[in-house]
Amino acid sequence: MTIKLVVCIGTRPEAIKMFPVVHALEADGRFNVEVWATAQHRGMLDQVLRVAGITPTVDLDLMRAGQTLTDITTGVIARFGEMLETRQPDRVIVQGDTTTAFAASLAAFYRKIPVGHVEAGLRTGNIHSPWPEEANRKLVAVLADLHFAPTKRAFDALRAESVPADRIHLTGNTVVDAFLSIKARLPQFHEATAEIAQRLPPLGSNQRIILLTSHRRENFAGGMERIATAAARLAMRDDVFIVFPVHPNPHVQDVMNARLAGHPRIALIPPLDYVPFIYLLTRCHLVLTDSGGVQEEAPSIGKPVLVMRDTTERPEGVEAGTAILVGTDTDRIVREASRLLDDEAAYMRMSRAHNPFGDGHAAERIVEHIASAHMAKPSIRAVS
């Protein structure tokens, strides 16, 4: 019996967090696996798929400049749904909290196709933060029948929402699998590391790199401006150099280009491919970000993270001491970053903390749980 799976991917972080799962499924004879891309993202998705050696069987090519949440949701429900109708897989696997993950889950649910959710159970408890992701992941939890929780806290959050315990599996986060596999291969990726060297000016011996990323929708109303002002203030120090791969969303581009372009100690660069980004993460001193995935990767190599959000669904990092939630208040960002730059002991405390998000074996566990669910219950659709 072969279990016919569709792995759904829409954006850059979904591709990063799903490629270890896809590789593990492909290596396992019990599965017939297809990757279907909604392409909610285009360029940023394609570069990860290239590195991972994945060619989607189906590509809906949905991304449009200025796309709205409605555009993505209706596009995925209609087009992903049509493909499900034709191909009738035994299960759909989605990841995280994007609009792709939610809409693909709904399309599968409407056809009574079971849904497995990778990175299930992250919650802030505030439906508006992150927006719309907190709602997306809660909606996926209602629709899915297999929930892969990265941490004990995520497991408990699902239990608190009455998800049966035997449908939740504690696996770790696949982002750590992805990160470790790329980090181990960094010496082979000469071009990627050379790309970083080309993009940055020669740094003074005293200059430390601050890696900055920002893209959250709830930061569009003023947060982006405050983050930009904080970056400009930090870059007044001659012992730092800020590298900022700017998300292609025009809301981010416009603010950051208007406020930070041309600064001698800030490099505004296009989004980096995954390998050069990981290389840069290994080279930087500290990270300022509102990204989910970056919060989870940085502790694997001891890089302190200042999370520029008011809430986090990843409090494990804060509790483990790898991250500080600083919000988007300019003074607070500058104060906390300056402390880490000036206070060696404070820096080392954060740098030595362990990564609470995973051990690099999440994908293997997920694959075993999917197999068990179908073997134990042949009534779940499976082809002979």
Catalytically active residues, by annotation: 97, 119, 133, 215, 217, 247
CB of 337 to ligand UD1, least distance (A): 23
- The tokens for 157 are 């959050």
Looking at the Cβ atoms of 69 and 371, the one nearer to ligand UDP is 69
Among 99, 291, 330, 355, binds ligand UDP (CB under 6 A): 291
Q: Which does 67 bind (CB under 5 to 8 A by kind): ligand UDP, ligand UD1, none?
A: ligand UD1
Residue ranges in contact with ligand UD1 by CB under 6 A? 11-13, 40-45, 63, 65-67, 69, 97-99, 132-133, 215, 248-250
Non-local CB neighbours of 357 within 8 Å, separated by 6+ positions: 150, 151, 172, 173, 175, 176, 296, 299, 314, 316, 317
CB of 215 to ligand UD1, least distance (A): 5
For the chain, give the number of residues: 384
Q: Please, which contacts does 371-375 make with residues 24 or more away whose CB atoms are closer than 8 Å? A: 371/3, 371/28, 371/30, 371/31, 373/116, 373/146, 374/1, 374/3, 374/90, 374/91
Q: Does 16 bind ligand UDP (CB under 6 A)?
A: yes
Burial of 26 (0-12, 13-18, 19+ CB in 10 A): middle
> Residue 72 CB, nearest distance to ligand UD1 (Å)?
6
Q: Which does 43 bind (CB under 5 to 8 A by kind): ligand UDP, ligand UD1, none?
A: ligand UD1
Nearer to ligand UD1 among residue 67 and residue 229 (C-beta): 67
Q: Which is nearer to ligand UDP, 107 or 294 (CB)?
A: 294
- Sketch the per residue contact string, 175 through 194, with ligand UDP: x for CB under 6 A, - otherwise: x-------------------
Q: Are 287 and 298 in contact (CB under 8 A)?
A: yes
31-37, strands of its sheet edge to edge: 58-59, 31-37, 3-9, 91-95, 115-118, 146-149, 168-170
The residues that touch ligand UDP, with contacts defined as CB under 6 A, are 12-13, 16, 175, 213, 215, 245, 271-272, 274, 277, 291-294, 297
